[in-house]
Structure 1
Amino acid sequence: MNKKKIAILVDSGSDVPPELLERHHIFMIPLKILFNEGEYLDGLTIDASEVYRRLPFEIPKTSLPDGEQITSILDRIYEEGYRKVLAICISSSLSGTCNMLRLICEEYENLECHVVDSKNISIGSGIIAVRAAQLLEEGMGFEELCRKTEEMIPNSKVFFCLKTLEYLQKGGRIGKVAAFLGSAISLKPVISCNEEGAYYAVAKSIGRNPSIKKVLELAQKFAEGCPKAMLAVMHGDAAEEAEALISEVKKKIPQGIIAVRGQISPALGVHTGPGLVGICVLKEC
Structure 2
Amino acid sequence: MIGIVVDSNSQMPRELAERHRIEIVPLVVTIDGVEHHEGVDLDADAFYAAWSDGAAPDVSTSQPAPGAFVDAYRRLVDRGATEILSIHVSEAMSGTLNSARLAAQSIDVPVTLIDTGTASFGVSCCAWAAAQAIEDGADLAAAAGIARSRAGSLRTSFVVGVPSLVDRSGRASGVGVEQASEGGVPVLAMTGPELSVLVTANDLDEAVQAMVDDALAWPPSDDAGLRIAVGTSDATSRPLALAITDAVTGDDRVAEVLQYRIGPSIGAHTGPGTAGLFVF
Q: TM-score, normalised by structure 1?
A: 0.88
How far apart, in 1, do the equivalents of 2:19 and 2:220 lie?
A: 30
How far apart, in 1, do the equivalents of 2:99 and 2:195 lie?
A: 21
CA contact (8 A) 2:8 2:25 kept: yes
Would you say how many aligned residue pairs link Structure 1 and Structure 2? 274
1:78 counterpart = 2:77: yes
Instruction: Quote how far apart the aligned CAs of 1:180 are.
Output: 4.3
CA contact (8 A) 1:167 1:270 kept: yes
Q: 1:7 to 1:253 in 2, by over 3 A?
A: farther
1:36 counterpart = 2:32: yes
Write the deviation string for residues 204-247 of structure 1: whole angstroms up to 9, x where unpaired: 32322211211111111113695323331111112232123212
What does residue 90 of structure 1 align with?
89
Q: 1:29 to 1:185 in 2, by over 3 A?
A: same
How far apart, in 1, do the equivalents of 2:148 and 2:174 lie?
A: 35
How far apart, in 1, do the equivalents of 2:276 and 2:256 lie?
A: 15
1:114 counterpart = 2:117: no
CA contact (8 A) 1:128 1:153 kept: yes
CA contact (8 A) 2:27 2:62 kept: yes
What does residue 170 of structure 1 align with?
168
How far apart, in 2, do the equivalents of 1:128 and 1:177 lie?
A: 26
How far apart, in 2, do the equivalents of 1:128 and 1:16 lie?
A: 11
Sequence identity percentage? 24
How far apart, in 2, do the equivalents of 1:224 and 1:138 lie?
A: 21
How far apart, in 2, do the equivalents of 1:176 and 1:53 lie?
A: 30
Of 165-174 and 268-277, more deviation after overlay is shown by 165-174
- Aligned counterpart for 1:234 among listed residues 223, 231, 236: 231
1:63 counterpart = 2:62: yes
CA contact (8 A) 1:91 1:198 kept: no
Instruction: Quote how far apart the aligned CAs of 1:261 are.
Output: 0.8
What does residue 48 of structure 1 align with?
44
Secondary structure of the corresponding residue to residue 21 of structure 1: helix
What does residue 125 of structure 2 align with?
127
How far apart, in 2, do the equivalents of 1:99 and 1:157 lie?
A: 25
What does residue 191 of structure 1 align with?
189
What does residue 20 of structure 1 align with?
16
Secondary structure of the corresponding residue to residue 185 of structure 1: coil
Which consecutive unaligned segments of at least 5 residues does structure 1 have?
Answer: none
Q: 1:49 to 1:108 in 2, by over 3 A?
A: same
What does residue 150 of structure 1 align with?
148
How far apart, in 1, do the equivalents of 2:125 and 2:221 lie?
A: 20
Amino acid at match of 2:32: N
- Aligned counterpart for 1:138 among listed residues 136, 144, 165: 136
1:215 counterpart = 2:215: no
Secondary structure of the corresponding residue to residue 171 of structure 2: coil
How far apart, in 1, do the equivalents of 2:86 and 2:45 lie?
A: 28
Of 34-43 and 8-17, more deviation after overlay is shown by 34-43
Write the deviation string for residues 65-99 of structure 1: whole angstroms up to 9, x where unpaired: 01111111111111111111111111111111012
CA contact (8 A) 1:92 1:119 kept: yes
Q: 1:82 to 1:252 in 2, by over 3 A?
A: same
What do you get for the CA RMSD once the two structures are aligned?
2.1
CA contact (8 A) 2:27 2:64 kept: yes
Which consecutive unaligned segments of at least 5 residues does structure 2 have?
Answer: none
Q: 1:18 to 1:66 in 2, by over 3 A?
A: same
1:181 counterpart = 2:179: yes
How far apart, in 2, do the equivalents of 1:22 and 1:267 lie?
A: 21
Write the deviation string for residues 34-67 of structure 1: whole angstroms up to 9, x where unpaired: 1235211012101112221213231211110011
CA contact (8 A) 1:165 1:183 kept: yes
